[in-house]
Amino acid sequence: MEALRELARDPWWQVIAVLEDEDDDGVGGFAYTVGLAGEGRSELHIRARPSLGEDPGLDWRFSSHDMVHLLNDAAWRLVDGRLGVGSEWEESYDAGQVTVRFTVGAATDAEEVEAFRAGDATVHPVRWSLHREPEGPLAPMSEEQRAAAAEEYAAVVRLLPAGRAVLPGWELPASPHWSPEQRWGPRSPLVSARVQLMAHVSPGDMIEMLDLAFALSSRRMTGYAIVAARAAARPAGRSASIERLVDDASDLLAGLGLTWGHAAWEATVAWVNDDEPDPLDDAVIKGLLGEVITPYLVSVACEDLLPTDVLVHGAGPFVCAVSGCGLPPGPAWQAASHVVEATCSLVAAAGADGLVAAAAAWADADGDDYADARGRIMSLCVTTPSMFPDWRTALPPRLVAEVEHAAADGVDGVDGVDEADVQEWLSVVTTVLSHRAMLSSDTVELVLACGEEAMPGLRRLLDEPLTTG
């Protein structure tokens, strides 16, 4: 919450990020503030890679975005008198598997840390050390995990179209086994099976995938599962297998439209560049799709190592795109029971006509503001447990029949709507309820503009935090 409060304040300083030089021997990029000295304070500086400790972090670094956030947070502490020489704190990263310990050093000349735009100001280096599990020996899956993997593999193989050509480099094994020495770790057969199934993706599913990729990428919500998997893979001796998979996924995407997914690729390019004067480059489109596909494949490979919330985040965009029905792809994506119960109570009070009217209003709402709101909400919807279950089973049978009738025939002033719109609207409500503190008031007001009149009580529900007690 402290970080959220800091974001609500407007800094008067700038943060200058200097990208990593390939020839800097692993020192990495850095960032520093410019403007604090104008208020009589020293500037702040941080490096992308560890400057303290025994772990050099050759495979772990802060991004430019990370460093900007860290320095802004440290600057507010400095301004408020909560930070000085010798101040120490720590933060957790990668689903709690990595700890970074920070300490503030004595002020030095800007030139010493290459903070050249800071002029003659002095600069406090914010140094840090990296703490994580060391690379361990290759670890096998448990007997229970192997049994579950074998069952899942058989189910996926049954879905593969018979007599279709296999994707080169991802061939299914003649006899699947689960030893950790395989190319992508013990779950390699499942990775191959999932890729072979992906090779038959429909145009509509790939377009949905890209649509989600735009929303997720613009909100920096695409890399979490990969970094968490890298951290989890170290003690299991599987770092190399994860890196091979990430590299192979890049090759897989390069072949999209050439060796696989011809129809889906053509339709996706046509969709994204429809009436655009400056079409997106193919590499950009494939890069965006990779931000959905690569985390998905890494999640498949590391399912035995990762907690449920990371798996939901990594696999969610892909599996939600290919399911194409707006339903939670599994129990892990469903909102908490008390959130679902509160939404069901709201629907019961509004009745079928109110639900359908609100769903239609949300489906028909147009404009950049609504596009942004949809992107924010759907990004959370597909990466967290916040979706509404199948409304045909979650609502009472009599109400289901009334909703089906209202959706087909329409209600006063509203034409009939697709029943998928009803599902989406209910997931919008449960997602906003689940993540109210993470959404701006403007986004919530747009949701209310569509549903408040048709569903009385919606504002009160969204404004009052839910408790399970």
pTM: 0.89
- Structure tokens that stand for 424 in this block: 């989406």
Q: Is the pLDDT of residue 26 over 70?
A: no
CA-to-CA separations, 355 to 10, 58, 415, 426, 434, in angstroms, rounded: 40, 53, 13, 9, 19
CA-to-CA separations, 397 to 109, 331, 338, 345, 352, in angstroms, rounded: 73, 21, 20, 14, 12
**Could you identify the residue written with the tokens 């038959």?**
200
Q: Is the pLDDT of residue 6 over 60?
A: no
272 close to 280: Cβ distance less than 8 angstroms: yes
Q: Is the pLDDT of residue 338 over 50?
A: yes
* The predicted structure's pLDDT at residue 166: 79
Q: Rounded CA gap, 465 and 336, in Å?
A: 13
Q: Is the pLDDT of residue 270 over 50?
A: yes
Dump the DSSP string for 282-312. HHHHHHHHHHHHHHHHHHHHTTTTS-HHHHH
Q: What is the pLDDT of residues 92-130, one digit of tens each?
A: 999 899 999 999 999 999 999 999 999 999 999 999 999
Q: Give percent of the chain with pLDDT exceeding 90.
A: 85
- Structure tokens that stand for 374 in this block: 């949809």
**E strand or H helix that includes residue 157:** helix 143-159
Q: What is the pLDDT of residues 305-325, one digit of tens each?
A: 999 999 999 999 999 999 877
Q: What is the pLDDT of residues 121-160, one digit of tens each?
A: 999 999 999 999 999 999 999 999 999 999 999 999 999 9
* The predicted structure's pLDDT at residue 19: 86
For residue 22, the one-letter residue type is E
Q: Beta strand pairing status for 122-132 and 43-47?
A: parallel
Helix then strand then coil, in percent of the chain rounded to 5, is 55, 10, 35
384 close to 323: Cβ distance less than 8 angstroms: no
Task: For residues 439-463, give the mean pLDDT.
Answer: 95
